[in-house]
Amino acid sequence: MNPKTISQMTPALVALISMLVIMPFQIVALTSVALPGCPEICGDIQIPYPFGIGPGCSLPGFELSCNTTNNGAPAPFLLNGIPVLDIDLTWRTVRVKKSIISSCYNKENTSGMISNSTDDSWNLSGTPFWINNWQNVFIVIGCDVIASITFGINETNTRLGGCITMGCYSADIINYNGACSGPGCCQTYAPQAINYYQVSLQHWNSNSSKQYNSSQFCGNAVLVENGWFDISNHITAVNLYKQQMPVVLDWSIGNEACETAKANRSSYACISDHSFCYDSTNSPGYWCHCSPGYEGNPYLEGGCQGYPCPAFSRPKQNRPGECQLYVSNVIGLIIGLGLGTGFSTFLLCFSIRKRIKLFEKRKNEKLKKKFFNQNRGFLLQQQIASDDDATQRMRIFSLDELEKATNRFDQALILGQGGHGEVYKGILMDQRIVAIKRSKIVDQAEIEQFINEVVILSQINHRNVVKLYGCCLETEVPLLVYEFIPNGTLSNHLHAEHGPLTWDHRLRIALETARAIAYLHSSASISVLHRDIKSTNILLDDYFTAKVSDFGASRSVQIDQTGITTVIQGTFGYLDPEYFYTHRLTPKSDVYSFGVILAEMLTGEKPNSSTMFEVGGLVTYFTSGMRENRLEEILDPQIAVNEVHRTELEVFANLAQMCLRRNGEERPTMKELEIHLEVLWRFNRQHEHPRASQTLEERQLLPHESIAGNDTTRQYSFEQELLSSFKLPR
């Protein structure tokens, strides 16, 4: 090629390169969502692997069929003909249609209180699917209908729920105005981790003065996606018969935990580069996810691809989502064209570099703004700013500060991890040692819990409540910064992971936990109901001082408010049965959970262990042992029992039994429990060290004010009941 031709080409090449700079292109090739040769779409619904249509196109249990519907359009179906509405790899859900359970009868033909009964069940046992407990709700529609619902796992380990409709004046049409409230409608929620339910519908006739507009009555029950009433605010109870409604199912891979599955590479499902697994939170098995900076299908080879970069740039090694300039080919081309284009090349390279930096700066600013809004940053700032004490106690950290504190989240600094994420040990610039909580999963419910936890902890300052130093909102998933508690959880120590606990330690930990919860209920600036009191949420420092933690499920109420009606949340085994059946959360709900911990400390048994399941649960095991005077038989063998301890153990066990009363009104308050555990601790100190003067540790533990000073009559009678157990014959 002669010089004249080259000189004629140069302006065109420069113009072309400039256009490429002005119009960035994506470096990520479009990848298939299904296995090669398998259908990717059925109708207008995308079918991503591990789902698939046809032999060899899916993982076991995820097979779909693509059939023609009544309107002539193709649609996917799951299992035994369940219509599929949507499949979401990111949130690990599949939306399907489920038929309404209906029962209709004529009023004139009904005699007595109860009419014909209709039963229906849904059993997902043996499939990878589980019922999502927070995106669905059970709704019962119709006049005078009783719905009994049995929830369970594989038709076993069942729990009973349900609701009753009453008080409507029209059996045909009920206008709900966008919510299931008022006559003719009631609702309840499914517990976590179930794959089976059975519903029984019955009609009842109140024989009251109601005059119904129709002789035909229909009762309907349906498990339906939350928000269905928002678009269905005028419902005819009769014409719901045999209709289908949307339901959200969770799914997971296999029955093994993530770490176990990774050991078997032949069956491990997260096969894409730049992917990882984490344990399912609602069922056995695990999920796959693309690493930060990558997106796509982690279940396919090469399914996770890096985010796009502009022209003449490429992803940085080990820095996913960031781009670097790549102009070696361009420079070689320019040199070949001659020195005459040198100045143009310089300007072009300068322009490319400046554009990439501007691109990265704008991208980071947009991401930070997006994450800040997504994490309710403005709301959080307002909540903290409204409280001067909270402003002094906590602050909002930058991501740079926390990356320096953890050496860019070094894996060697992980204190603990689970399905939801990791907790890292870090050292701040002021040399404070902290624990940094970082979640793996972006979940709207978890973001709400994060905000809730920050707001509540920012208003609490107590020796036995874990301190929140601050948070970071500059990441996709918010980060929380706590004081570092080095000695694990109460559960770790009770169940032999960190060695046995002495009786003195158990008694003191119970007292300090009671102090913290009593403070939350009645002494803090707001009244806080913890809602998830359990042994894994009680942390211990090097001196075995108890620290109550994890306020993600907590609710704040007015000091003079006796309780609130709310969605059930907590941990089975510790959950108050009265709260479970009524949805009424009160301070006595925390008292019940605290009673379970006392029983756990006495027996050394886990509330949710298979051993306890065989005998009806820890509460049944403990209360039956107390009724039959078998306390020493059910005691943890690690507790050394002498005559002094035997007296203390009997009183301690009586306290636990009072906390576990079925009727919440009959349970003591946390303040009463704190007072009587103080009495018991003083008794322990006097008999363990009768001649010793009070130590500094004891002076810190015991309040200086008189126990009996301003107590109520209820507290006095409770103390008499407690102290009388010191005199029980042996």
* pLDDT, tens digit, 9 for 90 and up, residues 187-221: 887 787 788 888 888 876 544 334 444 445 678 88
Q: pLDDT per residue over 124-180, tens digit each?
A: 988 999 998 888 888 888 877 888 888 888 777 777 788 887 666 544 445 454 567
CB 349 within 8 A of CB 327: yes
Residue 366 lies in a domain: no
- Whether the predicted pLDDT of 726 surpasses 60: no
Residues 536 and 423 occupy one common structural domain: no
Of 88, 108, 129, the domain-final residue: 88
pLDDT exceeds cutoff 90 at 523: no
Model confidence at 611, pLDDT cuts 50, 70, 90, reads: confident
CA distance 529 to 584: 12
**Residues 7-63 pLDDT 10s:** 444 444 444 444 444 444 333 444 678 999 999 999 989 999 999 999 999 999 999
Can you give the pTM of this predicted structure? 0.53
Residue 282 maps to a domain: yes
Say if 371 falls within a structural domain.
no
Q: Which residue has better confidence, 601 or 24? A: 601
Q: Which residue has the higher pLDDT, 346 or 636?
A: 636
Same domain, yes or no: 153 and 206: yes
pLDDT score at 386: 62
Within a domain: 369: no
pLDDT at 602 over 60: yes
Whether 469 and 322 map to the same domain: the answer is: no
Query: Do 414 and 515 belong to one domain?
Result: no
* Token duo for residue 314: 């490429």
Average pLDDT score over the chain: 77
Q: Are residues 465 and 604 in the same domain?
A: no
CA distance 51 to 58: 5
Q: Residues 73, 33: one domain?
A: yes
More confident residue, 682 or 70: 682
> Is 343 within the bounds of a domain?
yes
Claim to verify: residue 206 and residue 293 sit in the same structural domain: no
pLDDT category at 649 given cuts 50, 70, 90 is very high
Nearest Cα residue to 711 out of 668, 682, 653: 668
**495 and 471 together in one domain:** no
Structure tokens given for 511: 């007292």
Residue 627 within any structural domain of the chain:
yes
pLDDT at residue 725 is higher than 60 = no
532 catalytic per annotation: yes
Which residue among 39, 65, 88 closes a domain? 88
pLDDT (mean) for 546-570: 79
Indicate whether 236 and 259 sit together in one domain. no
Residue 613 maps to a domain: yes
SS (H, E, C) 73-131: CEEEEECCCEEEEEEECCCCEEEEEEECEEEEEEHHHCCCCEEEEEEEEEECCCCCEEE
**Residue 609 pLDDT grade (very low, low, confident, very high; cuts 50, 70, 90):** confident
Q: Give the number of C-alpha atoms closer than 13 A to the C-alpha of residue 433, restricted to the C-beta side.
A: 6
In this structure, the answer to whether residues 532 and 604 fall within a common structural domain is: yes
The whole-number pLDDT of residue 167 equals: 62
Residue 636 belongs to a domain: yes
Window from 47-51, 345-349, 435-439 with minimum mean pLDDT: 345-349
Domain count, the chain: 6
The pLDDT of residue 112: 38
Q: Highest-confidence range of 102-111, 196-205, 624-633, 685-694, by mean pLDDT?
A: 624-633
> What's 392's DSSP letter?
H
Domain that holds residue 588: 490-727
pLDDT surpasses 90 at 601: yes
Q: What is the DSSP string of 23-76?
A: S----PPP--SS-TTS--EETTEE--TTSEESTTSS-TT-EEEEEE-TTS-EEE
Residue 523's domain is classified under what CATH number? Answer: 1.10.510.10
Q: How confident is the model at residue 674 (pLDDT cuts 50, 70, 90)?
A: very high
Query: Residue 539 pLDDT > 90, yes or no?
Result: yes
Residue at which a domain ends, from 448, 467, 483: 483
Catalytic residue among 144, 250, 279, 532: 532
* One domain for residues 19 and 167: no
CA distances from 496 to 492, 499, 590 (A): 6, 5, 26
> CB neighbours (10 Å) of residue 117?
12
Instruction: Kindly indicate the confidence band of residue 702, based on its pLDDT and cuts at 50, 70 and 90.
Output: very low
Average pLDDT estimate for 297-307: 89
Ligand-binding site membership of 370 (annotated): no
Question: Is residue 534 within 8 Å of residue 528, measured between CB atoms?
Answer: no
Give mean pLDDT, residues 524-538: 86
Examine the domain organization and report whether 49 and 115 are in the same domain.
Answer: no
Name the one residue in this structure whose structure tokens are 């491990």. Answer: 268
